[in-house]
């Protein structure tokens, strides 16, 4: 099964646009990345950089209209997701690719018992009878650490706390043992202590099933602790991608450096939290040059005029910057 040198997922030059009154919003504007089997890929970037849109398109869940996958290819296990028929794509969703969303408070149907919401997945994909599905649902809830699962399975979502709901959602996502799990900021809506538990749970389940994971987050600490490989997104583009350690130790892009600097460091003086100045650009009216230029400390004239090249720093490390090599050299020297 492992074609494409062990890649489960290969995205090439994906573009997703939203037609709005303000013009065409280029939410995702030509991104490429791979996810190997068993690997965890982290995606970071500021709000609005296209992380969610990119991942929703992997399951073809972009609302159309206004959205539209304008071009590109998404190859999952060797098949182009964009060419699948509606019933073929539905057979993938929830079975081979599953998703965990950001807000557990709104992601479950408030009018339906948790048991039913869990059961419908395996009844659909695994052909479970009601009884099998119910047993499976209880087992899944136990597995994700919900106490008294057999009794609580018939509760409604509002009877669970936020952390418990996210466990329910994880149980739901994992109930057919998907090969790819997409977790879109799975912990942003939760308390810090719960965050750690949920991440630990994802890690544990991943190691049990050997699934690949795409983990989207704002939190570079989470990226460091959970992922093998990272892509940094900005304005619908991949600005940098590298193995996780390499990215933290030797970033080759000013934007990544800015993100890393804005992580609070407990050993430094307090009160001097760094923030990248300015705002991300309007994705409907992108400037001709580098979309980060107006906020970049390192920007020169060429950055405003010409779109930057995607520079290959090492075989597994690329950066979208006119001065990628220089930045890479600098970060290497200060090590």
Ligand X SMILES: Nc1ncnc2c1ncn2[C@@H]1O[C@H](COP(=O)(O)OP(=O)(O)OP(=O)(O)O)[C@@H](O)[C@H]1O
Residue with structure tokens 């998404």? 74
What number of H helices and E strands is found in the chain? 13, 12
Write out the two tokens for 70: 């304008």
What is the residue-wise DSSP string for 165-219?
HHHHHHHHHHTT--SEEEEESTTTTS-HHHHHHHHHHHHHHHHHHT-EEEEE-S-
Among 45, 50, 72, 94, binds other proteins (CB under 8 A): 94
Q: Using CB under 6 A, which of 31, 53, 201, 231 touches ligand X? A: 53
Q: How far is the CB of 288 from ligand X (least distance, A)?
A: 19
| Rg of the Cα atoms in the chain | 21
Question: Least distance to other proteins from the beta carbon of 238, Å?
Answer: 24
Is residue 160 within the footprint of other proteins (CB under 8 A)?
no
Q: Cβ of residue 174: shortest distance to other proteins, in angstroms?
A: 12
Q: Quick one: which of 5, 47, 85, 110 contacts other proteins (CB under 8 A)?
A: 110
> How many residues contact Mg ion, by CB under 5 A?
1
Question: Which residues 267-296 are close enough to bind ligand X by CB under 6 A?
Answer: 283
End-to-end CA distance of the chain: 41
Tell which one of 33, 39, 51, 121 touches ligand X (CB under 6 A).
51
Contact between residue 20 and residue 66 where contact means Cβ atoms under 8 Å apart: yes
Residue 156 binds: one of Mg ion, ligand X, other proteins, none (C-beta under 5 to 8 A by kind): other proteins
Residue from 60, 92, 90 nearest 74 by CA: 60
Smallest separation (angstroms) from Mg ion to the CB of 52:
3
CB of 211 to other proteins, least distance (A): 16
Distance CA(242)–CA(249), nearest Å, equals 10
Q: Using CB under 6 A, pick the residue from 18, 101, 234, 239 that binds ligand X.
A: 18
Among 50, 251, 258, 289, binds ligand X (CB under 6 A): 50
Give the DSSP H or E segment for 91.
helix 86-92
The answer to the question of residue 124 lying near other proteins (CB under 8 A) is yes
Binding mask 227-266 for ligand X (x = CB under 6 A): ----------------------------------------
Contact 173, 97 (CB under 8 A): no
Residue 121: contacted member of other proteins, Mg ion, ligand X, none (CB under 5 to 8 Å, by partner type): other proteins
Q: Which of residues 103-122 bind Mg ion (CB under 5 A)?
A: none
Closest distance of CB 241 from ligand X, Å: 16
Burial per residue of 146-184, b for 16 or more beta-carbon CB atoms within 10 angstroms, e otherwise: beebeebbeeebeebeebbbbbbbbbbbbbbebbbbbbb
> 283 in helix, strand or coil?
coil
In this structure, how many other beta carbons lie within 10 angstroms of the beta carbon of residue 267? 4
Supply the minimum distance, in Å, between the C-beta of residue 147 and other proteins: 21
Q: Considering only 63-71, 147-155, 162-170, 295-303, which stretch makes contact with ligand X by CB under 6 A?
A: 63-71
Query: Taking a C-beta distance cutoff of 8 angstroms, is the pair 249, 240 a contact?
Result: no
User: Using alpha carbons only, what angle is made at residue 74 by residues 206 and 30, rounded to the nearest 5 degrees?
Assistant: 110
Contact pattern for Mg ion over residues 39 through 58, marking x by CB under 5 A: -------------x------
Residues forming contacts to ligand X in the complex (CB under 6 A) are: 18, 20, 25, 27, 45, 47-53, 63, 66-67, 283
Residues forming contacts to Mg ion in the complex (CB under 5 A) are: 52
């Amino acid at each position: 099964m492992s074609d494409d040198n062990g890649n489960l997922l290969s995205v090439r030059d994906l573009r997703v646009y939203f037609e709005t009154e303000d013009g065409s919003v280029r939410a995702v504007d030509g991104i490429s990345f791979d996810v190997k089997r068993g690997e965890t890929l982290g995606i970071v970037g500021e709000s609005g950089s296209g992380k969610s849109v990119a991942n929703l398109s992997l399951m073809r869940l972009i609302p159309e209209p206004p959205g539209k996958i304008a071009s590109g290819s998404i190859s999952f296990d060797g098949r182009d997701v964009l060419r699948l028929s509606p019933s073929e794509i539905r057979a993938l969703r929830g079975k081979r690719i599953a998703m965990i969303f950001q807000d557990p408070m709104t992601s479950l149907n408030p009018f339906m018992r948790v048991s039913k919401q869990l059961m419908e997945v395996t009844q659909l994909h695994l052909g479970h009878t009601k009884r099998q599905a119910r047993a499976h649902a209880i087992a899944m809830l136990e597995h994700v650490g919900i106490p008294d699962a057999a009794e609580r399975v018939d509760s409604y979502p509002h009877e669970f706390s936020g952390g418990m709901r996210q466990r329910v959602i994880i149980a739901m996502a994992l109930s057919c043992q998907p090969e790819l799990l997409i977790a879109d900021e799975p912990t942003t809506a939760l308390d810090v202590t719960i965050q750690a538990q949920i991440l630990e749970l994802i890690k544990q389940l991943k190691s049990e099933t050997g699934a690949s994971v795409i983990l989207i987050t704002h939190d570079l600490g989470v990226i460091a602790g959970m992922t093998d490989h990272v892509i940094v997104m900005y304005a619908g583009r991949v600005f940098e991608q590298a193995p996780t350690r390499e990215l933290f130790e030797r970033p080759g892009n000013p934007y990544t450096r800015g993100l890393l600097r804005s992580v609070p460091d407990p050993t430094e003086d307090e009160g001097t939290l760094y923030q990248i100045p300015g705002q991300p650009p309007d994705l409907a009216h992108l400037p001709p040059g580098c979309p980060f230029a107006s906020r970049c400390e390192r920007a020169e004239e060429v950055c405003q005029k010409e779109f930057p090249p995607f520079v290959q720093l090492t075989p597994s490390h690329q950066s979208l910057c006119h001065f990628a090599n220089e930045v890479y050299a600098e970060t290497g020297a200060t090590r």
